[in-house]
Amino acid sequence: MVYGGVTDHFKITLCTRSYSERGLRTVISGFLFGYDTGIVSAAMLYVPNNKGMQPMTSVWQEVIVSLTPGIAAIGSLLSGPGSDRLGRKKMIIGASVIFTVGAIVCAIAWTKVVLVIGRILLGCAIGFASMIVPVYVGEASPTHIRGRLLTGFQLLITAGMVIANIIGGAFSYIDPDNIGWRLMFGFAAVPAVIQFICFFFLPESPRWLYEHGRKEEAEQVIHYISCDKHSYFTKNNCRCLVGFILEIVNGYNMNWLKYIMDMNKNRNMQVRQYKSKPGKSMFPILFRKQLTFACSTDTSCSKTINFLGTLIPIIFVERVGRRILFFISIIGVILSLCAMGAAFLLINKDSASSSKDNTGINMSIPNQEYCHKFRNCDFCVTDDKCGFCQLNVKSEKKGFCLAIGSDNTVSATGPCSHISTNYDWEDNYCNTKYTALPIVIMAIYLLLFSTGYAPLPWVMNAEFYPLWARSTCVSISTASNWVFNLIISLTFLSLSQAATKYGMFINTFKIKDYQIPYFLFQELSSFTQDRIQRNKKNRNSSTSSLAHYNIGVAKDVL
């Protein structure tokens, strides 16, 4: 069928490249988000060595690292009312300015307090961007490519993490204790400035403009987005938006608290918590204690796999749909986590047993009596205070769990208190025939996680809510993501010691993890945002005040 002399298919094909170019400029915030997440671990290797930062205690290091996600939770909450009042575009430009200032402050920091101030500014900017950008992209994107553009936000997050590893490695050769770490933090200002410039050439959200009575500007934005000033689709969308805005203004009680408490809609906000399950960012730390790979190798591989895995939903999110892709990802994640738990269990059962003979061992050494209680190598090396001294005979799978010495290369007492050819000292991992198995499963897990768990909450969260409640609901759900992320990051290693590593992974299996998206979430890929809200209301009402509007066009522009 032809509308205005241009077929729907040809129109979509003609404008897809333009949509993608504008979308890439829009989601640069994702790169900033990912870069900061990745670069802080590299920079903190050298910050404590700087004279101006000394003495740098472990508490200070934890504050510098964990402060940003904590502030991001607050920032995402504040950005909801701000974006409703000031507009999506102005808030994103403001976030770019704050991010630039924060990066510069971190780069020139001469004391710990100044560095903390810079990290607070970065946290605010990340909180703003992580909430506003998905909302803006969802409101200003055509239906047929909306999912891909929103998934692009997650793709740039993973790209930022990969680039952070490269930048961190490159700047580590430039006097890292005094200059290198400053360049690592300061580099974040470059993409922030690029985003600041790009957004001056991007339009405001047409839905926000309509909501605030700026009808002519909104129609101009729709013309710009649709690449056609006279098409049937453009006129139809303008008319549909007017009708929808009139309905929500006249017919809805604009109480966002009532919306959140509504059990029929409250399930929508649960999707955001998937982003925090189940401690993905802590896996490389756990494997660093478990495997022989160097720190830089395993983290680089995990981030690269995460980036490559996100390309899958970029391709299939519009073809397969959100619901099916999410469900496949959840099933895969559950199975891989169970396999991970089984792999750690195999390592535990195959590791050498700990001898209770304390001959030649000074039990009065600090932590020695504590370490002596562990019954095998796996339990022993899981604790930071202990290491395992194993007899260097393949037929004898025995050894001693000993307190670690001051230099970490030998034990504080016992046969491994000095270099010996008869014993092997293991304080990071246990040498078993299953040692490499978790890294293989981790690669599979990350691939499955990045296929649905990671990108689709950004997509669906920007599509679920009605316009009048969208900013507030997205800000709350994004804040919950940051809060749970912080809680998991702070407690994951302690819980893994208490519940054991294999228990920690097996316990992640929850029936509701696949019940929620499969039975409660509707497929949204072929509907406009306004049509989604009409469908929700029609489930509770046999008639709709929008019946006289032709909103049922299969593939509307917006």
SS3 at position 48: helix
- Would you place residue 492 in the very low, low, confident or very high pLDDT band (cuts 50, 70, 90)? low
Whether residue 55 has a cis bond before it, omega within 30° of 0 = yes
Report pLDDT for 525. 58
CB 67 within 8 A of CB 122: no
- Would you place residue 283 in the very low, low, confident or very high pLDDT band (cuts 50, 70, 90)? very low
Report pLDDT for 113. 92
How wide is the angle at C-alpha 313 spanned by C-alphas 533 and 70, nearest 5°? 75
CB 526 within 8 A of CB 554: yes
State the first-to-last Cα distance of the chain, in angstroms, to the nearest integer. Answer: 19
Domain residues of the chain, as ranges? 1-202, 207-251+526-558, 352-426
Sign of the alpha-carbon dihedral angle for 230, 235, 237, 238: positive
Report pLDDT for 228. 52
Distance CA 382, CA 398 (A): 17
Residues with Cβ within 8 Å of 373's Cβ and at least 6 positions away in sequence, in order, are 401
Q: pLDDT tens across 115-149, in order? A: 999 999 999 999 998 888 888 888 887 777 888 88
Find the mean pLDDT for residues 258-272.
Answer: 50
- Would you place residue 511 in the very low, low, confident or very high pLDDT band (cuts 50, 70, 90)? very low
- Would you place residue 190 in the very low, low, confident or very high pLDDT band (cuts 50, 70, 90)? very high
The region of weakest confidence among 2-6, 98-102, 448-452, 504-508 is 2-6
Report pLDDT for 98. 94
Distance CA 98, CA 87 (A): 17
- Would you place residue 493 in the very low, low, confident or very high pLDDT band (cuts 50, 70, 90)? low
Report pLDDT for 393. 76
Tokens of 329: 């990802």
Distance CA 146, CA 19 (A): 9
Q: Tell me the backbone φ, ψ of residue 354, rounded to 5 degrees.
A: -95, 125
Whether residue 455 has a cis bond before it, omega within 30° of 0 = no
Report pLDDT for 505. 53
CA atoms within 13 A on the CB side of 221: 24
Distance CA 191, CA 160 (A): 10
* 1-202: CATH architecture: Up-down Bundle (1.20)
% pLDDT > 70, the chain: 70
Three-class HEC string of 78-89:
HHHHHHHHHCHH
